[in-house]
Amino acid sequence: MQIYLIFINCRDKTVFSTLLPRIYRCEAKFISLYGQSISFDELKFLIKHGGVVSLDLGRSEIKDEKGDSVCLDQIIQFLPYIAMLDIDYILGEPFDADEFIKFCKTNGDDVRFGIGLRFAPTFDRGFIEKFKETMEDYEESFESANVYIIQYD
């Protein structure tokens, strides 16, 4: 049986990690993990096939093997084609905004492309303001793009 959609929305943050050992292969195109606490290796298992069209990690925590939060640029390396990217509570260090724009232009859907990024309050505010401006310029130049960027207080 092929599964093209994974949707988890549960108060128990470990539900997905509990289910994952029962999955031997993943080729899901649409992945929504809301409020889950998962490792980066678990996320890579889901997205490494490169066929993910929609990735929604609303209120999910992605940690590496050391227990540190995974940066956005680590996640997008596994998304060669994407129509919707929604990530909540982004931690880490400022990244290269121009490289992210290149990612959007190269990997984004030509017909419809949505990006929702919500940064943690600890993320560099100056970077986020500049990044928002850059992404707004991108959104205006690419009529099918819909960009939503905020920072939590």
For residue 2, the model assigns a pLDDT of 60
The answer, yes or no, to whether residue 85 has pLDDT greater than 90, is: yes
pLDDT, tens only, 31-80: 999 999 999 999 999 999 999 999 999 989 999 999 998 989 899 999 99
| pLDDT score recorded for residue 100 | 95
What number is the average pLDDT over the span 116-126?
95
b/e 121-146 (16+ beta carbons within 10 angstroms → b): eebeeeebeebbebbeebbeebeebe
CA 9, CA 94: separation in Å to the nearest integer? 29
pLDDT score, position 3 = 60
Q: How many CB atoms lie within 10 A of CB 15?
A: 17
With 0-12 CB in 10 A as exposed, 13-18 as middle and 19+ as buried, what is 7? exposed
Could you give the domains of the chain? Answer: 5-151 (3.80.10)
